[in-house]
Amino acid sequence: MIIDLRSDTLTKPTPEMLQAMMQAEVGDDVYKEDPTVNKLEEHIAHLFGMDAALYFPTGSMTNQAAIKIHTQPGEQLIADKYAHVYNYEGGGVSFNSGVSCKLVDGHRGMITAEQVEENINPPDFYHSPLTSLVCLENTTNKGGGACYDFREIVKIRKVCDEHGLGLHLDGARLWNALVATDESPKDYGEVFDTISVCLSKGLGAPMGSVLVGKQKFMDKAMRVRKVLGGGMRQVGFMAAAGLYALEHNWQRMAEDHRKAQELATALAAHAKVALVEPVETNILIFKLRPEVDELKFIQQLKEKQIFISALGKGKLRMVTHYDYTDAMHAHLLDLLSSKNL
């Protein structure tokens, strides 16, 4: 039994999803003639109550497109120090948009309205970059799947309005947050200018992210996607997987969250574990005791066909997902409760 908890990107299409893909009606999406892609975009725009949506191959590209749309070279965005747009998108903020990042020391990847206010550069002080955008992430990846308090997001929106700043959400795992908090996509659509949502993580589609937003921003999105190399042709086969995932795999994410919490309980009781961070969704981050060799611990897991991620600075990560079955979960819980690890 191979148990791979490195990421929820490891999921593979189910036979039912593959069937939906094979039956998809397709066209040329660069000409906006792929009916399945158009259906997916209309569906997600409707979910969020926003004007328009555009299908992209990856979440990094949707984020990078949004930053390009909101900013001009030489400007600056505000984000948490753990932000995916800064840490895990290959320096794309500077490479693609010529923009710098003002990093904020938030809590588990989340920043407050007060911190946003404090980090806005005076617009009349031309020695510093002009602040033009705030990027939030929900759930937070490096922050361990933490969910924003929506009331704080509303406060951040108010600060952005007062200072004329754009507000973008990296919602790669927003579907998880919506399940965990029982919030509505339309709540988010009312607050953000643009939102990126991923279909290939907990939802289980093989690829794809969607950028959704207000019309004045989305009017630019098609051109930016083309510039970034994101124009695709008969991609309705993949869009069909996204539609299937939204219908069948969204609400079941609660099972992934439950399993992550049960793993957290088992790890907290393990003799080699020093700390388990709070678990809200499907990401679990923990630290070993100082005397425990991290590399040896990971290797012991590998020998038992269990794979996890090392985040650096002593942090280890497990991510539950659709392909992590009940049988796998029971096996791993038994292993963690035994003295064989």
pLDDT, tens digit (0-9, with 9 covering 90-100), for 198-219: 999 999 999 999 999 999 999 9
Residues listed for the chain: 341
Q: Is the separation of the CB atoms in 78 and 131 below 8 Å?
A: yes
Q: Is the pLDDT of residue 314 over 90?
A: no
Q: Which residues pair with 306 in a beta bridge?
A: 3
Q: Is the pLDDT of residue 340 over 90?
A: no
For 161, half-sphere exposure in the C-beta direction (CA atoms, 13 angstrom radius) is 9
pTM listed for this prediction:
0.96
Q: Which residue carries 């990042």 as its tokens?
A: 101
Q: What is the mean pLDDT of residues 59-74?
A: 98
The CATH 3.40.640.10 portion of the chain extends over 9-248
Q: Is the pLDDT of residue 339 over 80?
A: no
Domain 252-337 adopts which CATH fold? Aspartate Aminotransferase, domain 1 (3.90.1150)
Spatial neighbors of 136 by CB under 8 A, at least 6 apart, are: 79, 80, 110, 111, 148, 153, 156, 167, 168, 169, 170
Omega of the bond prior to 36 within 30 degrees of 0, cis? no
Identify the helix (H) or strand (E) that includes residue 140.
none
Report whether CATH 3.40.640.10 matches the domain 9-248: yes
Q: Look at 127 and 314; give whichever has higher pLDDT.
A: 127
Task: Give the pLDDT of residue 304.
Answer: 96
CA–CA gap between residue 43 and residue 308 (Å, rounded): 34
Instruction: Give ∠ CA 333-172-84 in degrees, rounded to 5.
Output: 95
CA–CA gap between residue 340 and residue 334 (Å, rounded): 10
The CATH 3.90.1150.10 portion of the chain extends over 252-337
pLDDT, tens digit (0-9, with 9 covering 90-100), for 5-47: 999 999 999 999 999 999 999 999 999 999 999 999 999 999 9
